[in-house]
Amino acid sequence: MTSAQGALYAFYVLSVLLCGPPLLSLWICFRRLGRVQRHGRTGHVFLAGIVISAIALPYNFGMTLLTAMSIARGETELGTIHVAAMALAWLCFWIWIAVLVVRLRRPRRRAL
């Protein structure tokens, strides 16, 4: 039997790995979408990032909770469902990086 303290540490680590990237991606996409819309543009790319992150966050949090509870019971088995959660977290991590790199460009002013 695994101790409850070990399950708590596993919950912390899995929360950072699985829930951190979707949360950061969701936050940065909301910020950039607001900025883009203030400039009168549509932010379809940022909206897609919000949708992907909003789907990934509850799924990954559920996997984190279920895995921590199974670790507390002593019946840990990582499977394809955990691989899917890591893939979603990895995708959200790259969405976050891409949104940080792509900045809103100001139009160039032409000298007359």
The 8-class DSSP code of residue 11 comes to H
Q: Per residue in 24-61, pLDDT tens?
A: 999 999 988 888 888 888 888 888 989 999 999 999 99
Quick one: pLDDT band at residue 107, thresholds 50, 70, 90? low
41: closest CA among 91, 100, 102, 112? 102
Please say whether the beta carbons of 14 and 68 come within 8 A.
yes
For tokens 């991606």, the residue is: 25
Task: Specify the pTM.
Answer: 0.77
Judged against a pLDDT cut of 70, whether residue 71 lies above it is answered with: yes
